[in-house]
Each structure stands twice: as structure tokens, then as C-alpha cells.
A = this chain, B = another copy of it.
Amino acid sequence: MSDNKKVTSLSELGEFGLIDHLTRNISLKNESSKKGVGDDAAVLDYQGRKMVITTDLLVEGIHFNLVYTPLKHLGYKAVTVNLSDVYAMNAIPKQVLVSIAVSGKFSVEAMDELYEGIKLACDNYGVDIVGGDTTSSVTGITISVTATGEAEPGKTVYRNTAKVNDLVCVSGNLGASYMGLQLLERERKLFEESGQAVQPDLSGYDYIIGRQLKPEARKDIIEKFSEHGIVPNSMIDISDGLSSDLLHICRQSGMGCRIFQDKIPLDQETIEAATEMNIEPFICALNGGEDYELLFTVPLKSHDLIQKIEGISIIGHITEADEGTKFVATQGSEIELQAQGWNAMG
């Protein structure tokens, strides 16, 4: 972590000390955060508005590898992946609770780095830390984040309400995070196999590595929806991959879909990295996951409104269920979409 910085063992602080240490200087920004850290529970007041609530667990060795994941980025990501779920309901995140289980091998300073990332994400997205738990673990770090958000009356968007002929839209570009992970893993293996003699070379791939290590949630898209008066018929965030997440929308809505290879947004770095590693770029986009982009459907009549939002791609449309869930390749062949999380590709 750090070679010449001060290192304080967690046992010097103890469990209560660590909570106090990490949550000192936290001030509450949101009207709905009535009482934060420091009691048996936090107190929230949504004043008649609906709340959305979601939770995610990040486990060392499963979701992240500390060999190439800076703790500050890890903290940032632990928050943003949860906020992404809140935005995917067309809601505005307001609070998080952050629990951390950590083994004795980590220092107080390491926890400070992790919490710096957590706080930075909360600042960037206007979210209050109102609670959490810290505890020992037998091995490694586990982070559990719960995020809450406020839904505008009548504007909550679910997965199961896509309509036939809806346009299927996606924000940003896909597959970048997956290719970033492949590069990091390749360099890690070279580094380890070479007895740490070969230094990692990740130059030219800053963007896709950033997408893997420090993803953002698409706050801006939700704000644009509000600005332009758009309420999608259905929405989900892409965490498991375009294929899996579009299948969630189709199955839960009782619909089918057709999406088109040549409409799928890819960044140039993703294409270059994929080509270098002999992977089809569109396969990364379909099955990679961890994009934290928004996948949503809107009625045909919203076509012109959607065009006004920068960085939205219309990749296909919703069909009746009996037409299947189809991916149409550039050369015209059709294949059925497969549910396949990124774990399955490893």
C-alpha cells in the first residue's frame, strides 16, 4: 500500500475507535437525512416521497483484486455501483450505509484510503453517509453498501414495464470495463510469472482501466431525462452485461427484442484492446458487464427527445415475446441473446 507512510494497526484503535475515526467530520447535506452515524439507527424523512433502497456486497478475491485495485478506487466503486441501481429506478440517491469487514493485515491508514474513496463518491453524487458497521474478518475485505434514493412522484421506472415497439436505448459505451479487467489481469499474470521482473505496461489504456477500477454512475442521464420530460417505460443498469440485463427487461416485461450489432456503442480503446487480445469487441459489449450504463426503453414517439441527449444510442426495439430476444449481426445473421454474467467468461 505505502512504503514510508505511517502504519497504525487496526487493533490500536479497536472496533469503536475505527468507526469513530472513519466517520469523524461527516456532515449531512440532504434535507431527508435527519440523523446520521452515532445512534442505533439513522433517521430519514422523505416527507411523503417514495424511497428506493438497494444493497450490494463486494468481496475481495471475487469482485476485486487488491494487487491492481487502489483502495481509494475500491471505496469509490463500492458506492457508485449502488448509486447506479438507484438511478436505474429513475430516482436520486440521498443516503448510503457502508459496512466493512476487514482482517488485521490492513492498517488504519489503508482504511483511511478506502474511506477517502467512499467519501469522494458521496461528495460527487451529493449523498450522505448515515450509517454502517465495521468489524474484523478472518481474511480480506468485504464491503456492503446500502443506498437509498428519492423517487419523483409517479416517475419510478421498473424493469417489467417495457412495451412492444419501444426503442431500446443505452447510455455511453459498452465492454470497456471488461476489457480494462482483461488487461489488468494479463499484466498481473505477467508480473507474477516473471517473478515481478516485468513491470505492468498499461499505457494507452487509461480510459478502459478507469472504467473498471473507478466507474461512475449515470447521474447526468437521469438529470437529462428530467430536463427533457422523458420517463422511460423500463430501465435497468448494466452490471451483468447487455445480454443478461436486456433479458431481465424482456422476461420481466413478457416481451422480446431485436438489437443490432452495428448500433452497439464501443469506445476506440475497447476495440483496440479487444483486437490486441483476440476478442470480438461486440462480445465484450454483450457479455462483459460492469458497465454501469443505463439500458432503457422509450416509446417510439420519444425518438426525437432521446436524440437530444448526448451519448445515448438506440440499439434496437422491443417486440412481442414470440419473436424471441434476437441479436442481429452486421452481416445479417440472427442469434438468441444469452444470459451470461462476466463471471462466466473468466
User: A90-105 interface mask toward B, CB cutoff 8 Å, 1 = contact, 0 = none?
Assistant: 0100010101110000
Chain A 47-69 interface residues, beta-carbon cutoff 8 Å to B = 47-48, 50-57, 59-63
Q: Is the CB of A146 within 8 A of B55?
A: yes
Q: Is the CB of B148 within 8 A of A53?
A: yes
Expressed in whole angstroms, the Cα–Cα distance for A327 and B137 within the complex equals 33
The smallest C-beta distance from A139 to any residue of chain B, in angstroms, reads 6
Cross-interface CB contact of A40 among B51, B88, B100, cutoff 8 Å? B88
Q: Which residues of B contact A136 (CB under 8 A)?
A: 59, 62
Expressed in whole angstroms, the Cα–Cα distance for A62 and B140 within the complex equals 13
Chain A 35-85 interface residues, beta-carbon cutoff 8 Å to B = 35, 38-48, 50-57, 59-63, 85
Q: Which residues of B contact A50 (CB under 8 A)?
A: 34, 43-45
List 26 A-B residue pairs with CB atoms under 8 Å apart, sorted by A's residue number: A38-B160, A38-B252, A39-B89, A39-B236, A40-B52, A40-B54, A40-B88, A40-B235, A41-B86, A41-B91, A43-B52, A43-B151, A44-B50, A44-B51, A44-B53, A47-B48, A48-B48, A53-B146, A55-B97, A55-B99, A55-B133, A57-B101, A57-B135, A59-B136, A62-B137, A62-B138
The smallest C-beta distance from A150 to any residue of chain B, in angstroms, reads 11
Q: A41-B54, A52-B43, A89-B41 are in contact. Are A139 and B142 (CB under 8 A)?
A: no
Q: Is the CB of A51 within 8 A of B43?
A: yes
Expressed in whole angstroms, the Cα–Cα distance for A41 and B237 within the complex equals 11
Q: Is the CB of B144 within 8 A of A57?
A: yes
Chain A 119-162 interface residues, beta-carbon cutoff 8 Å to B = 130-133, 135-140, 142, 144, 146-149, 151, 156, 158-160
Q: Which residues of B contact A283 (CB under 8 A)?
A: none
- Of A40, A46, A156, A339, most buried by chain B (CB within 10 Å of CB) is A40
Q: Is the CB of B131 within 8 A of A43?
A: no
Q: Which residues of B contact A55 (CB under 8 A)?
A: 97, 99, 131-133, 144, 146
Closest 7 CB pairs of A and B: A41-B54, A144-B144, A41-B52, A40-B88, A61-B138, A40-B85, A57-B99
Cross-interface CB contact of A146 among B59, B146, B236, cutoff 8 Å? B146
Q: Does A320 contact B (CB under 8 A)?
A: no
Q: Is the CB of B142 within 8 A of A59?
A: yes
The smallest C-beta distance from A260 to any residue of chain B, in angstroms, reads 25
Q: Which residues of B contact A30 (CB under 8 A)?
A: none
Q: A39-B159, A55-B99 are in contact. Are A138 and B91 (CB under 8 A)?
A: no
Q: Does A175 contact B (CB under 8 A)?
A: no
